[in-house]
Amino acid sequence: MPDVSLTVDGRKLTAPAGTLLIEACKSAGIEVPSFCYYPNLPLQGACRMCVVKVEKMPKLQTACTTVVTEGMIVATDSDEVRQARKAMVELLLGNHPLDCPVCDAGGECELQDMTFSYGAAESRFMEAKNHREEQQWSPVAYFDRPRCILCYRCVRVCGEAMDVWALGVQNRGVNSVIAPNQDDHLECEECGMCIDICPVGALTSGAYRYKTRPWEMNHVGTVCTHCGDGCKTTLGVRRCDTGMEIVRGDNRDKSGINNDFLCIKGRYAFDFAHNDERLTQPLIRKNGKLTPSTWEEAFGLIGKRFAEVRDKDGGSAIGVVGSNRTTNEENYLLSKFARVVLKTNNLDHHRTADYAAFAAALHGKPGKTASMREVFNAPAMLLIGNDPTNQHPLLAWQIRNNVRLHRSRLYVINSAPIKLRRQTAGFGLVPTGAEARAIAFLAGDDSLLDSLVSDITNRDAWSALRDKIRAEQNLVIAFGSELRGADIQKLVNFASSLTAVKLICLSDYANSRGAADMGLYPDLLPGYQPASSADKFHHEWGGLPTEKGLSLPEMVDAAKAGKLKALYVVGSNPIGRLSIDPFVFSKSFVVVQDMFLTETATIADVVLPAANAYEKSGTCTNTCGDLQLVKKAGEVTGTKPDFEMIVRIADAMGFDVRKLVPFGGGTHADMGQTRGAQSGEADRHAVWLEAHNLEPKMTPFDPIAILDEIQRLVAGYDVSRINLLAGNDQHIEIAESGPSVLHKPELIVPANDDLFSSGTLGRYSHTLNSVMENKPAETDVAAD
Amino acid sequence: MKFSEEFESRFTEMLTHYPTKRSVLVPTLLYAQDEIGSLTGEIIAELAQRLDLTELEVRNVISYYSMLTTKPRGKYNVQVCTNIACMLRGGEELLDHCKKKLGIGHKGTTQDGLFALEEVECIGACSWAPAIQVNYDFHENLTIEKMDKVLDEYRKKGTQ
Amino acid sequence: MASLVSHPDEVRVVSKRFGQGATNIDRYVDLDGYKAVQKALGMQPDEIINEVKSSGLRGRGGAGFSTGMKWSFVPKQSAKPKYVLCNGDESEPGTCKDRLIFEHDPHAVIEGVMIAAIAVGSHTGYIYIRGEYRYVSIIMQKAIQDAYARGFLGKNIFGSGYDLDIYWHGGAGAYEVGEESALMESLEGKRGIPRIRPPFPAIVGLWGGPTVINNAETLASVPHIMLGGSEWYAGIGTPKNGGTRLFCLAGNLNKPGVYELPMGYNLKKMIYEVGGGIPGGRKLKAVVPGGSSTPVLLPQEIDVPMDFDSLAKAGSMLGSGGVVVLDDSTCIVKFALRTIKFYQHESCGWCIPCREGTDWLKKTLTRFHAGAGLKKDIDNIYYLAENMLGKTFCPLGDAAAMPTMAFVKKFRKEFEDHLEGRPCPFEKVGAVEQLPVMA
Ligand SMILES: Cc1cc2nc3c(=O)[nH]c(=O)nc-3n(C[C@H](O)[C@H](O)[C@H](O)COP(=O)(O)O)c2cc1C
Ligand code: SF4
Ligand code: FES
């Protein structure tokens, strides 16, 4: 679009035609105040705070609804304008309770700020203020009408942006009130966006209210640990008896891939971290009972037993299960530890997506994966399987708002009429499990059409859908775990036949992608390198076992057969999540690192109390392959990060930990100096570490010490360290990975979490539980 | 939910007047209220379903319009205008008189359910002030005496 | 049914058929009905628009915008259907004229809508009637039915090949819905919240299509212009203010009623001759010349021609034709309070200045009138109104602010007389008794 030039407060500006005056001003650093204006939400023109003087216009104009025009002359700070704004604030304060000292929003309230700027502190009003009692709308949402300034942000974010439409406006005039959909309570997705977006303290969160004052918190920007989308979240933390407590989660600074979006889990479900059932001492089974002990005793015992088994029965008698929620550094370390120290390839994790097949299909095809940011701007999108509203809330948000704001075209192929169908330009309902057939049909196989038709999508609709999809010049395809193995290859082949396509393989946990990328596989090393032939790892890590290891189900079988003598489970609950008979491990020496006494921990011989993702640093990779920095926010005394525990076990086994973690001087990790154009990065690295309070200790427990090795050895991870440490997301190319091995489709087991559950973690979140309990019982869940 | 045949045929016909279903909402609510007495939860649910709206949306609309009510009120709703033209010609005195005579206040209903009283804004009878409406019927150029007669007539009609 | 009045100075155009049984379609046709629309069908759309433009017809809804000009803004080509919407929400206090037109001459409104539709190339019209006017809507319903039965509406009207449907639509009690964009929201089945403008309805209106919105009296005048010619019509009024207007004389008058007088008729004459003067030997105190939103005029200001431009010059507005006369027994503070109470009740609540401003004005004026006013309140009242003026989302806020400012400015002394616990000098009962209970 051509630019227009205008003059604001005597300064010459240019802005693309069609820009709103308020945005043009903002880009030039001229702040025009507003309550009701909110980027990407429908215009309201309701609060009148943004009034400015536009030359040749008789009245003041609202900058939020005025589009810039050539030659426009604007004054944003004249006496007339200031007076108008001051009067607006005075009027608002007239009925405002001014209970700032006890208001959650006190200190970060837009009305307070505005009062401060326009000096409307003196009251002209004597009469009683209109009063109404505060209401509780849900376990997490409270509404205080007197504080509400009716900016309608909540109504719009709930309706337009979330497509939930649970809030409305009732009554008229001064009696107008924001109302929830169920008379006196809310039935919704509980995302809390309404609370987040409220400029004052009218909507407050049950999780945060009355807990602290904003200025008493420290804020740490990190990554949400719940689903695979990897939302950036800013955690508000403060000191408490047991360390550092997380009291709030939001992304008000819009700094991440999620802009200001968070779902219920990201916003409130950090509370598992302070669950009373948190383990804070190592436990050792003595006389059949798990008994508190010391770290020294625990590591000593584990080291001794692991070494015994390895030396007597061989590494193949040991199984290792990694985690979808630990960091890349921890997963990489575990992968290395298993192979180098335990001498086993019996390594696996709870796979919720077939990344191995995805990597194989895209091997050597660069630029074919889409980032989460790209979803928001793609001209067209195809979703196959999955229900993002429940399983990938951020992805759903990106898709929905891309359709709404950019008129992107969405096509959905699903076995259920998922909520996102409301945004579709084409919807294909397939019989359960027939997603792959639909792809074959899209690719041109008409013989399958009959098996796809349904009431919702008949033959013509399928043909029309195919034509539309094939006509797209620029498409992002996201697919769920319905597609595995060879089906992914077929999808990639179809995608390659279209003009420009990028793909996203959807997985369920915060670092599922990272677990796969870091080689938590029995036959694949980091970067999907086959364990049998990955020369660079042999070279770097030293002697590795090359025979194919056991997958998780095979480990179970081996345990049944008495051949698995030891099992090391890091941050995973396979017994609880994968319905494994707990008795099969009764003859194995089982070590579990976890936060809670999970089903798996209950049968362990040693349980080590672990820190969670909010309590450590490192990186993780989301479902799209976006790499982000994880920063330590909370702390619970008595726990340790998995990274440290792995290193301590290696040490207890008598292994030289320098060979595991290249820390300090004299290691063969080069910290980046030899990388030509990027040399000198190590210095910058140090500066960054210092600037970001990451304390460059260079101890064997510093995960950053191994990041360099990851960047060097894991294909695709060689991204800018500076950007990473600055908190920016960076996309990882899976195409550079090694040609992978096709696995059995049964190895993929979806987590089946929805908005209100989060694997084992979710069970320990009071907030999620209270919201679940508050939901009305499902009416007729017909067994059809 | 059972409406009269007249309601149903009007509803069906009205739907053909507009490109969107929800356009019939406001007049339909008023007709439903005229028939049932007030806009009950059941009516709201029914109309929401018929017009593909959420109940919340229907409530949002109801609460905006002065004539719509979710609470039952007396059979004869005596609406006394006290806006400027009527006020200048005794509208307020009429209202006071009604309050005393019926023993109820603004938006009250008599115990026998016969009368409701409401102070209303301008009803478009300024040149014939003071004026009232009982339900939809206008009574204009009133005096206290004429007002009494009007009320008596409705009482007679309502108790027959 | 409302009673009719007459005065020799009246020029009967719109009210020509009042009391003549013209609700009956045969009678209407006998009285030259449906001739104008047939004439329009034989004209080019631009010819119709030019005719209306040169007639000097200005909107009778309140703002007085040139009707022909408004029609000319509608794009000739439009992907979306175009609409004509007749505004019969009549709710401005002091106004009761559209009701009479609907009651006595409903076909004239229908015919006006038809001509507007033909002029802008629309095939659907709506006549929005306020919910309180139930009997009026029944008359209108019948009239539309009869017109369809005659083939005047529907497919191929008058054998012209032109299809045209007209429907009536009912409101449910909301003044703000008379504002044109809120009117469209209401017709679409929503809360009556006005829309952001631009785009104006002529470009983006009902369901996104270009829409002409005119007051019922405006549209009822159109057939007469088509038949009588623009020159004749323009000649009745004053320059730039063509034709006649239905003036609703109300308040303290001997002969209140709705009179049709030429534009520019002298206000003083209107009060003392047409309206029969003030009853009970009382003196004139003030006049609200065009509905409650128009600034009040003092007795010395009423020697003024009643047209849009002259009243603007006099610091007020011609508005909707509601002339409310106050005699010297009226308490201005109370009158101001009653006026603001209306706007407080009717504010849609969308924007801060109107929602909060009307509420605080009402609260302050209530206390003030009850005798608990402070000196600073007078300035405060003015300050509030002044800060609403021109800053609200739609003109309702202005409608509340303008008369309030005029009351304070022109009757400051009377406000001062209410100070220091003094009972309202006009009140029979001790005003202090009415003090609102303060929480
Ligand atoms: C608050 C408010 C209320 C209004 N009420 C009415 C009304 O009841 N009837 C009407 O015709 N115009 C009303 N108007 C004016 C309309 O917005 C619009 O200008 C008019 O219908 C246009 O018709 P006209 O050009 O024929 O006057 C109102 C305007 C405002 C701001
Ligand atoms: S001025 Fe504002 S609050 Fe008042 S009616 Fe208009 S939009 Fe609604
Ligand atoms: S930001 Fe422009 S009116 Fe609210």
CA of C193 to the centre of ligand 3 (A): 15
Are the beta carbons of A170 and B55 separated by less than 8 Å?
A: no
Percent of chain A at pLDDT > 90 equals: 80
**Cα separation of A462 and A326, whole Å?**
42
Mean pLDDT of all residues in A130-153: 94
Whether residues C350 and C430 share a domain: the answer is yes
Percent of chain A at pLDDT > 70 equals: 94
CB atoms under 10 Å from CB of A738, counted, come to 19
Give residue-wise pLDDT tens across range B57-92: 999 999 999 999 999 999 999 999 999 999 999 999
**C-alpha A15, offset from chain centre:** 34
**Cα separation of B148 and B145, whole Å?**
5
Q: Find the domain containing C211 and state its range.
A: 14-236
Q: In this structure, what CATH number is given to the domain that contains residue C395?
A: 1.20.1440.230
Q: What is the pTM of this model?
A: 0.93
Number of compact structural domains in chain C: 3
**Cα separation of A681 and A696, whole Å?**
14
pLDDT at C291 over 50: yes
Whether residues A165 and A48 share a domain: the answer is no
**For position A690, what pLDDT does the model report?**
52
Residue A698: pLDDT band (50, 70, 90) is low
CA of C128 to the centre of ligand 1 (A): 12
Looking at beta carbons, which residues of chain B come within 8 Å of C96?
A: 124-128
One-letter amino acid of A731: H
Domain ranges of chain B: 5-64, 76-159
**Domain final position from C236, C265, C295:** C236
**For position B160, what pLDDT does the model report?**
81
In a domain, C4, yes or no: no
A424-429 and A409-414 strand pairing: parallel
pLDDT at A757 over 60: yes
Are the beta carbons of C438 and A172 separated by less than 8 Å?
A: no
Is residue C398 lining ligand 1, measured as CB closer than 6 Å?
A: no
C106-120 and C45-54 helices, crossing angle to 10°: 120
In a domain, A222, yes or no: no
Mean pLDDT of all residues in A90-101: 89
Is C93 in contact with C291 (CB distance < 8 Å)? Answer: yes
| CATH code of domain B76-159 | 3.40.30.10
**For position C83, what pLDDT does the model report?**
98
**For position A663, what pLDDT does the model report?**
74
Give residue-wise pLDDT tens across range A448-487: 999 999 889 999 999 999 999 999 999 999 999 999 999 9
In chain C, which among 56-115 make CB contacts under 8 A with chain B?
Answer: 81, 90-96, 98-99
H or E stretch at C211 = strand C211-215
Residue A533: pLDDT band (50, 70, 90) is confident
**For position A662, what pLDDT does the model report?**
81
Mean pLDDT of all residues in B131-149: 97
In chain B, which among 36-65 make CB contacts under 8 A with chain C?
Answer: 51, 60-61, 64-65
**Domain final position from A473, A506, A539:** A506
Residue A708: pLDDT band (50, 70, 90) is confident
Give residue-wise pLDDT tens across range C178-201: 999 999 999 999 999 999 999 999
Residue A128: pLDDT band (50, 70, 90) is confident
A213 contacts: CB under 8 Å, gap ≥ 6: A106, A107
Give residue-wise pLDDT tens across range C218-258: 999 999 999 999 999 999 999 999 999 999 999 999 999 99
Residues in chain A: 784
Mean pLDDT of all residues in B91-105: 97
Mean pLDDT of all residues in A618-642: 95
pLDDT at A678 over 50: no
Whether residues C49 and C157 share a domain: the answer is yes
A232-240 and A243-250 strand pairing: antiparallel
Whether residues A347 and A360 share a domain: the answer is no
Q: Which two tokens stand for residue A654?
A: 């008598």
Least confident of A614-628, A673-687, C297-311: A673-687
Mean pLDDT of all residues in C101-105: 98
**For position A748, what pLDDT does the model report?**
95
**Which of C91, C183, C348 is the pocket-test mutation for ligand 2 (most atoms within 8 Å of CB)?**
C348
Give the Å distances, CA to CA, from A454 to A385, A427, A470. 16, 11, 21
Is A394 in contact with A257 (CB distance < 8 Å)? Answer: yes
Whether residues C340 and C225 share a domain: the answer is no
In a domain, C5, yes or no: no
Is C331 in contact with C257 (CB distance < 8 Å)? Answer: no
Q: Compare CB distances from B124 to C3, C133, C189 and report the shortest one's residue.
A: C133
Residue A784: pLDDT band (50, 70, 90) is very low
Is residue C396 lining ligand 2, measured as CB closer than 6 Å?
A: yes
In a domain, A373, yes or no: yes
Q: Find the domain containing A337 and state its range.
A: 283-352+512-737+754-762
**Domain final position from C196, C214, C236:** C236
Closest CA in chain A for residue C357: A91
Instruction: Write down the H helix ranges in C12-132.
Output: 25-30, 35-41, 45-54, 67-72, 98-104, 106-120
In a domain, A777, yes or no: no
In a domain, C209, yes or no: yes
In a domain, C132, yes or no: yes
Q: Which two tokens stand for residue A252?
A: 């008000």
Q: Compare CB distances from C359 to A51, A169, A174 and report the shortest one's residue.
A: A174
Give residue-wise pLDDT tens across range C28-81: 999 999 999 999 999 999 999 999 999 999 999 999 999 999 999 999 999 999
Whether residues A685 and A613 share a domain: the answer is yes
**C-alpha neighbours within 13 Å on the C-beta side of residue A111:** 29
Mean pLDDT of all residues in A3-28: 96
In a domain, C312, yes or no: yes
Closest by Cα among A97, A581, A635, A621 to A326 = A621
Looking at beta carbons, which residues of chain A come within 8 Å of B60?
A: 168-170, 179
Whether residues C64 and C195 share a domain: the answer is yes
Give the Å distances, CA to CA, from A310 to A306, A307, A522. 6, 5, 17
**Domain final position from A153, A188, A205:** A205
**For position C270, what pLDDT does the model report?**
98
Whether residues A495 and A632 share a domain: the answer is no
| CATH code of domain B5-64 | 1.10.10
Instruction: Write down the H helix ranges in C352-395.
Output: 352-367, 375-388
Whether residues A312 and A454 share a domain: the answer is no
Q: From the CA of C57, which ligand is nearest?
A: 1
**Domain final position from C326, C349, C367:** C326
Whether residues C217 and C77 share a domain: the answer is yes
**For position C382, what pLDDT does the model report?**
97
Average pLDDT, chain C: 95
CB atoms under 10 Å from CB of C421, counted, come to 12
Whether residues A300 and A388 share a domain: the answer is no
Looking at beta carbons, which residues of chain B come within 8 Å of C170?
A: 26-27, 30
Whether residues A465 and A516 share a domain: the answer is no
Those chains having 3 or more beta-carbon pairs within 8 angstroms of chain A are: B, C
Whether residues C22 and C171 share a domain: the answer is yes
Q: Is A411 helix (H, G, I), strand (E, B) or coil?
A: strand
H or E stretch at A394 = helix A393-406
Number of compact structural domains in chain A: 4
Whether residues A481 and A583 share a domain: the answer is no
Whether residues C230 and C264 share a domain: the answer is no
Average pLDDT, chain A: 92
∠ CA(C377), CA(C380), CA(C382), 5° rounding?
Answer: 115
Whether residues C73 and C213 share a domain: the answer is yes
Whether residues A585 and A447 share a domain: the answer is no
Q: In this structure, what CATH number is given to the domain that contains residue A443?
A: 3.40.228.10
Residue C102: pLDDT band (50, 70, 90) is very high
Residue A778: pLDDT band (50, 70, 90) is low
Q: Is A286 helix (H, G, I), strand (E, B) or coil?
A: strand
Whether residues C320 and C338 share a domain: the answer is no
In a domain, C114, yes or no: yes
Q: In this structure, what CATH number is given to the domain that contains residue C166?
A: 3.40.50.11540
In a domain, A778, yes or no: no
**Domain final position from A448, A471, A506:** A506
**Cα separation of C237 and A459, whole Å?**
68
In a domain, A50, yes or no: yes
Give residue-wise pLDDT tens across range A288-341: 999 999 999 999 999 999 999 999 999 999 999 999 999 999 999 999 999 999
Task: Please say whether the dihedral angle defined by the alpha carbons of residues A310, A313, A315 and A319, taken in this order, is positive or negative.
Answer: negative
Give residue-wise pLDDT tens across range A418-441: 999 999 999 999 999 999 999 999
Whether residues A485 and A521 share a domain: the answer is no
**Cα separation of A224 and A252, whole Å?**
14
Whether residues A471 and A528 share a domain: the answer is no
**For position C61, what pLDDT does the model report?**
96
Mean pLDDT of all residues in A69-88: 96
**Cα separation of A501 and C358, whole Å?**
57
Whether residues A334 and A475 share a domain: the answer is no
pLDDT at A664 over 70: no
pLDDT at A254 over 50: yes
Q: Which two tokens stand for residue C220?
A: 């009822």
